[in-house]
Chain A
Amino acid sequence: MTDPPPVLHRVEEVMGIPVGIDVRDDGVDPGAIGDAFAHLRWVDRTFSPYRPESEVSRLNAGTLSASRAHPVVQEVLARCHVLHGRTDGRFDVRATGAIDPSGFVKGWAVEGAAAILARAGARNLCIHAGGDVRVLGERKPGAPWRVGVQHPFVRDRVAAVLAARDLAVATSGAYERGCHVVDPRSGRPPDGVLSVTVVGPDLGMADAYATAAFAMGAAGPAWTATLDEYEALTILAGGRVLQTPGMARLRADALGREPARPAS
């Protein structure tokens, strides 16, 4: 059974990472994909700490005061402040001394891109951005998007497959993408964490929670079990996978079934 090809599909490099947009609905203005990428580029110009002219860089340089920053910048920093509290301080835009909200901004920017496409009539789409994923609707009627969780050691294999509808999926991990094998014993505590995948309604939040849980190390999985609306899957260095019950219900592989749907 082959899937219908995407109606609109494009991969571009934005924010230093490849971003892919895949829309499955007919009748969506192709210009909407261009608008979505334009939004991501605007976010990059405004928030990148690597661009001297960005608002974030000027805030750090002291040439822009917070009260004169773009309202959207103020909103993002306020949301990061809330996340700082919710993660017991683990998610910290000032962790490096300077302001760097990148850990939230990437997912938040993708949410904005998805909203632009939804306003143009897209109901079934998938966006990936450097390992983070946002899906709306389904890949085809009755079939959820299948999101593979990257295996930490084997580049062309997945450790889990999630059946996703209207879901944000973010992963924070220690492995290098180019490597075939990463030795978990090299410089890693025995109970070290290889990756944390967090799913939920918002990609910015999922991204921040994944970063925070990863930073918590062995205490991360227990912490993820306390999150409202978000579920998590943690891969530990010893080859153990710990997941919250809600995440287990999303699994399309281990449980050997996709969530039941009436036949169409």
Chain B
Amino acid sequence: MTRGPVMRRAVPVALAAAVVAGLLASVRARPPSRPLPAAGAGGGTIASTATATAVPEVRRVSSKRPRRKGPVRTGMSTESTPFSIISVRVTLTGGELTRVETVELSGTGARTEAINARAEPILREEALRAGSAKIDVVTGATYTSRSYMKSLQAAIDEARRRD
């Protein structure tokens, strides 16, 4: 576990500074060279885009407090996963994205979870899924030689050896 020592010591420091860092990260402007996602450009487009892709856009439009003027609109998208049906509800206030909620409609531990749109700029959210797609290689937390023996990567390497 080569990066273990660095990680373990860094965590308490990081937690202490997390609140400040979170605020800093949320107000740091994204470089203009990176194109903004298209969804959210117009008030009514979020819902249809999210419905098509089932991956909601979480776009922070402004680092200032959202203006609470203008019409309030909500959009909804629904996605089925092997475990549950997930819906995402997006609220626009006066054209600004003010709230993103993930609503688990069924499955274990149905819940409603609100995300502060201002704190998570331009991130897309989805529910964790366990897939079994065909892959060539695995990325994951650093494993040791002992845990490699039981890993997905070892199984892939073994299959390759038999080719």
Chain A positions within 8 Å of B, measured between CB atoms, are 5-6, 9, 11, 13, 15-18, 20, 22, 88-93, 95-96, 100, 102-103, 105-106, 126, 128, 130-133, 135, 139, 145-161, 169-178, 195, 197, 207, 211-212, 214-219, 221-223, 225-226, 228, 235, 238-246, 248, 252-255
The 10 tightest CB contacts between A and B, nearest first, are A173-B141, A150-B140, A177-B147, A5-B163, A148-B135, A219-B22, A157-B130, A177-B143, A215-B10, A102-B2
- Distance in angstroms from B78 CB to nearest chain A CB is 15
A216 touches B18 (CB 8 A): yes
Most buried by A among B15, B25, B119: B25
- Distance in angstroms from B38 CB to nearest chain A CB is 10
A243 touches B123 (CB 8 A): yes
- Distance in angstroms from B155 CB to nearest chain A CB is 8
Q: Please encode chain B, from 7 to 24, with 1 for each CB lying within 8 Å of some chain A CB and 0 for all others.
A: 101110111011101101
- Given A222-B25, A240-B128, are A90 and B152 also a contact pair (CB < 8 Å)? no
- In the complex, chain A residues whose CB is within 8 Å of the CB of B2: 15-17, 102-103, 105-106, 130
Q: Interface-forming stretch among B26-34, B42-50, B69-77, B91-99?
A: B26-34
- Given A177-B151, A223-B21, A245-B37, are A159 and B141 also a contact pair (CB < 8 Å)? no
- In the complex, chain B residues whose CB is within 8 Å of the CB of A148: 131, 133, 135, 137-139, 152
Q: Please encode chain B, from 59 to 102, with 1 for each CB lying within 8 Å of some chain A CB and 0 for all others.
A: 00000000000000000000000000000000000000000001
B144 touches A20 (CB 8 A): no
B6 touches A103 (CB 8 A): yes
- Give the residue of B17, B53, B125, B141 whose beta carbon is less than 8 angstroms from that of A131: B141
- In the complex, chain B residues whose CB is within 8 Å of the CB of A20: 137, 153, 157
- Give the residue of A159, A218, A242 whose beta carbon is less than 8 angstroms from that of B130: A159
Closest chain B residue to A211, Cβ basis: B3
- Distance in angstroms from B57 CB to nearest chain A CB is 8
B55 touches A130 (CB 8 A): no
A102, B4: Cα distance in complex, Å: 9
- In the complex, chain B residues whose CB is within 8 Å of the CB of A246: 34
**A103-B3, A132-B139, A159-B129 provided; 14 other pairs, C-beta below 8 A?**
A90-B10, A102-B3, A130-B144, A146-B137, A154-B130, A157-B132, A172-B7, A172-B142, A216-B18, A217-B18, A225-B122, A226-B28, A252-B133, A253-B131
- Give the residue of A161, A222, A252 whose beta carbon is less than 8 angstroms from that of B22: A222
A238, B126: Cα distance in complex, Å: 11
7 A-B residue pairings within 8 Å (CB atoms): A20-B137, A22-B137, A95-B10, A131-B153, A157-B130, A207-B3, A228-B34
Closest chain B residue to A252, Cβ basis: B133
A150 touches B138 (CB 8 A): yes
A242 touches B147 (CB 8 A): no
- Give the residue of A96, A238, A239, A255 whose beta carbon is less than 8 angstroms from that of B9: A96
Closest chain A residue to B121, Cβ basis: A225
- Given A6-B160, A216-B21, are A16 and B133 also a contact pair (CB < 8 Å)? no
A165, B41: Cα distance in complex, Å: 30
- In the complex, chain B residues whose CB is within 8 Å of the CB of A149: 138-140
A34, B22: Cα distance in complex, Å: 45
